[in-house]
Structure 1
């Protein structure tokens, strides 16, 4: 399978992967398998997200393979640990993109690592399908080879605010990742202003802190 072919077929695979339940662990690539690559936090404070994403994708791939795979070939995933660190993500993407057996990327977690992965995927001309983040960069022209399966942060916040305003809530509290404060707090304030709500209190959480999971 060529990488360009994966851009079409991979979008459906990525959607199935993000919806699948967590179940199994990374398998050793078999001869003749279609290989996709993942960089995610599998150890460290953010491991809960990365392990759940990895196991969910593996469960989805089991279903794909039980149904005959893609054109009769099984699909398997090579997962690399980035510990939620941008530099490790860069190294992982370069390693995966340099492996000519890897036809696409999937299952990236966290905003910094998803952004890094999307930019490098565009540079390398390889698809990134189904990153966990809803950060704006993934939806713009800087990430032409990224295919999202999640709504953007703005759309998610808009839906949440609309729901609670419908229920009569006016004052809102916001727990956010500290390194995303400069983007997400003004975004929420803008949305609340449109719907007549007010941001009363905020609290930041360290992305790499021990209490994140």
Structure 2
């Protein structure tokens, strides 16, 4: 009898040890960000936020008892290098899901690869094409994104302009994928809000002088100028507007609410308007806003616990990776580390309160954010003021 019990115990221990090890085996999530190159000022802090989110989730037990392991890759903001990076993450590292990248152009470069490999990804790019389907956009069954669509940001601006009675609009857009995505929506949605595009100009994102384009636009007698770009180019536009003595309001896009913009533009930033996540003026939100406590906790972790603010002050991009990671985790808790299951579970998320908005995903909407997730901010005395809720 004793020998029988001993044999049973040995068998039990022999089987349970591998099972326990399997339960604790990390779940790999790939992360692609521009950690060097022209978009590193966005990509590097986004990486740190992703690591912060994973650390907090692992403290709480991970995904059904299994920790998350982030596998990082640097796209350098370059589409070709992004393709190489995503192939390594999928084929060599065998990640079950992905977050990133930083720029719309790199997102579009990896889109067909991710689709063919059937790996779910929550992107952290601003442009709409990554989740658009049909024709040259291809398919987007496995592709989701955490930031608001460009079209949503355009609608938020146009709602504000309509309320202010401003109807004549001039647009100045970057020639890259993000800028042209904004241009597409600015032109397409204007009639819906009773607005007229009286002039349009473009520039290269590396240009430093847009005064010629601005003079041509002002000859059309606009009531407002809307600029669509990210990075230093936006600040250069603001400085040219001030230098030329242009008095009509300058709107920037949803990619520019960032202390760096105020630093680069200097006094020219004063009075500039832009759509933003609620993160940039969260303390000015009404207490009834369900995002306010969520953002308050995020800000506390970012500043006080992980002390990221010392090197990278909070900007509108800061919450995207947090939301991307948490959306994946919600799906994985339902589906486990199964790629198809994660994709299906993501489409069913309805009501996740994130830093960037309240997500209501569906088979027809792989972003899930509407205009109620955004505010209009105005720069006054070098600070962010809630201009329109």
TM-score bracket, normalised by the shorter chain, equals 0.7 to 0.9
Distance change (3 Å), C-alpha of 1:205 and 1:34: farther
Q: Which moved more, 1:149-158 or 1:110-119?
A: 149-158
Supply the distance in 1 between the matched residues of 2:67 and 2:157 (Cα, whole angstroms).
39
Distance change (3 Å), C-alpha of 1:139 and 1:64: farther
Supply the distance in 1 between the matched residues of 2:78 and 2:33 (Cα, whole angstroms).
9
Supply the distance in 2 between the matched residues of 1:59 and 1:202 (Cα, whole angstroms).
41
**1:162 aligned to which of 159, 163, 178:** 159
Tell me the secondary structure at the aligned position of residue 68 of structure 1. Answer: coil
**1:211 aligned to which of 232, 239, 243:** 232
Deviations 1:122-156 (A, max 9, x none): 11121111332332341326121112233322222
1:147 aligns with 2:147: no
1:177 aligns with 2:177: no
CA shift, 1:104, in A, is 1.0
| Unaligned stretches of 5+ residues in structure 2 | 1-23, 208-230, 234-259, 261-389
Supply the distance in 1 between the matched residues of 2:112 and 2:205 (Cα, whole angstroms).
21
Q: Which moved more, 1:151-160 or 1:84-93?
A: 151-160
The answer as to whether partners of 2:168 and 2:196 remain within 8 angstroms in 1 is yes
Task: Give the RMSD, CA atoms, in angstroms.
Answer: 2.5
Deviations 1:42-87 (A, max 9, x none): 1111111211221121111111111110111111211111111110
**1:67 aligned to which of 60, 78, 88:** 60
Supply the distance in 2 between the matched residues of 1:52 and 1:202 (Cα, whole angstroms).
33
Question: Equivalences for 1:86-101 in 2 at 5 Å?
Answer: 86-101=79-94
Supply the distance in 2 between the matched residues of 1:139 and 1:174 (Cα, whole angstroms).
23
Deviations 1:94-146 (A, max 9, x none): 10011254111102111111112222111112111133233234132612111
CA shift, 1:203, in A, is 5.6
Tell me the secondary structure at the aligned position of residue 89 of structure 1. Answer: helix
1:80 aligns with 2:73: yes
**1:36 aligned to which of 29, 32, 35:** 29
Q: Which moved more, 1:145-154 or 1:120-129?
A: 145-154
CA shift, 1:211, in A, is 3.3
The TM-score normalised by the length of structure 1 is 0.74
Which structure has the higher relative contact order (CA within 8 Å, separation 6+)?
A: 1
The answer as to whether partners of 2:154 and 2:182 remain within 8 angstroms in 1 is no
The TM-score normalised by the length of structure 2 is 0.43
CA shift, 1:206, in A, is 3.7
Tell me the secondary structure at the aligned position of residue 44 of structure 1. Answer: coil
Distance change (3 Å), C-alpha of 1:182 and 1:132: closer
The answer as to whether partners of 1:85 and 1:113 remain within 8 angstroms in 2 is yes
Question: Equivalences for 1:5-24 in 2 at 5 Å?
Answer: none
The answer as to whether partners of 2:150 and 2:181 remain within 8 angstroms in 1 is no
CA shift, 1:171, in A, is 3.3
Aligned to 2:8: none
Aligned to 2:188: 190
The answer as to whether partners of 1:136 and 1:152 remain within 8 angstroms in 2 is no
